Structure 1
Amino acid sequence: MPSDAAPASSAPSARDRVLDAFEELLAEQSERAATLDAVAARAGVSKGGLLYHFASKEALAAGVLDRFAALIDDDVASMRTSEKGPVDYFLRTSIPTDSRFERAMVAIARLAQADDPRARDALAGAQRRWLEVLQETVGDPLVARTIMLIGDGMYYNTALLPATNNVLRDETDVDDLIALVRQLAEPAG
């Protein structure tokens, strides 16, 4: 029986391809390398096609920031509902992966490095939201901030020093670290 609904397309729209290309160029290279011409070429659209969706590089940045906001909303929701709890979730996701979220995070960081105040605000907002969930979970603001710093260190060691990382060697180290953090987070007495 024929359906009235249009067939679902799995191919991303031209607009999404442009945003993906901008994120990729930011993450792989820099804000300076993510020119309109380079974005159009990477997305496989004409420059006119890019400008149809995004009139300027600032509009592209706004589009990427909007997508990042949605990704943060999803991440915080996942953190709150994680089967093993928010602390476990936060620490395990502090290890970079080759994911859309990771690419968006690096792209936003590149915009922040290029003095985009919207990007700095977006990163600070994400950090505030993660910290809020951690504080709700552990009850102690200092312990929550300590967990954030441990997550930052995990990211640094695994993203920036992958070949020389002697701190987190394998999944057992991560499990042991999380067990230790759980002890830190337990109420005294």
Structure 2
Amino acid sequence: MAQPSPSARERILDSYIELLISEGERAATLDAVARTAEVSKGGLLYHFKNKDALVESLIERLEEEVEADIARLHAHPEDSIGYFLRTSVNMGTPYDRAILATLRIAQENQQARDALNRMHDHWRGALSRTIPDPAVVDVVIFVSDGIYSASALDGTVAHSVQETIDVVKRLVASPAPQIP
């Protein structure tokens, strides 16, 4: 059975995200978004009164994706580190695309920076359910960020993700070193 086609509003938002990722914020003008979405500029403005409304919808999408991801992470409490790091590979999912698009505008947009900070806070809170040491939680997030960046840049990671997961799990399980 064929998937229903996305609504005009969703196509417009998807087009905005695509332009942000592929060409950057300056190229993602309202005219370019309308052209890419194959709608008139009036049609775009019917759904999004201005570029700020597109940004708000992008952030809403990111937050919905984060919420769904956190729910999936909670469904794997016995392997939260493995789940978190395995899903850190950029696979071009709507979640990945929302993150990349938000990253593209974050330098100039406080709302985007705030959304990315909230995303990290949600990850931190979810991981802290199974990792008691906040510093270790941060290390796991930093490793995740590295996996994501490497896979987003060229589609690969230097080592297999499973090898990385195994190393991180050994580090987490190790007793903290005693400083004299």
What is residue 73 of structure 2 aligned with on the other side?
A: 79
- Structure having the higher Rg: 1
Letter in 1 for 2:21: A
Moved over 4 A (4+): none
Matched, 1:139 2:132: yes
Which amino acid is the alignment partner of residue 176 of structure 1? E
Out of 143, 148, 151, the residue aligned to residue 155 of structure 1 is 148
TM (norm. structure 1) is 0.85
2:77–2:130 CA contact under 8 A, matched in 1: no
Q: Structure 1, unaligned stretches of length 5 or more?
A: 1-7
The answer to whether the aligner puts 1:22 opposite 2:9 as a matched pair is: no
Matched-pair identity in %: 40
Which string of whole-angstrom CA distances, capped at 9 and with x for unpartnered residues, describes residues 123-182 of structure 1? Answer: 01001111111222111111111111111222222222557x5x32xxxx3222212222
Residue 85 of structure 1 aligns to a residue in which SS? helix
User: Please, what TM-score do these two structures have when normalized by structure 2?
Assistant: 0.89
Cα RMSD (Å): 2.0
Query: Which of residues 164, 169, 172 is equivalent to 1:177?
Result: 164
Structure 1 counterpart SS, 2:88: coil
Counterpart code for 1:183? R
Alignment partners' CA distance in 2, 1:156 and 1:89: 17
1:130 aligns with 2:123: yes
**Residue 90 of structure 1: CA displacement?**
1.0
Is the CA contact (8 Å cut-off) linking 1:92 and 1:174 kept in structure 2?
A: yes
Provide Cα deviations, 1:34-69, integer angstroms capped at 9, x if missing partner.
000110011111000000111101111111111111
User: Is the 8 Å Cα contact of residues 70 and 122 (structure 2) preserved in structure 1?
Assistant: yes
Identify the residue that residue 52 of structure 1 maps to in structure 2.
46
1:15–1:53 CA contact under 8 A, matched in 2: yes
> For 1:144 and 1:83, how far apart are their aligned partners in 2?
14
Aligned length: 175
Structure 2: stretches of 5+ with no match in the other structure: none
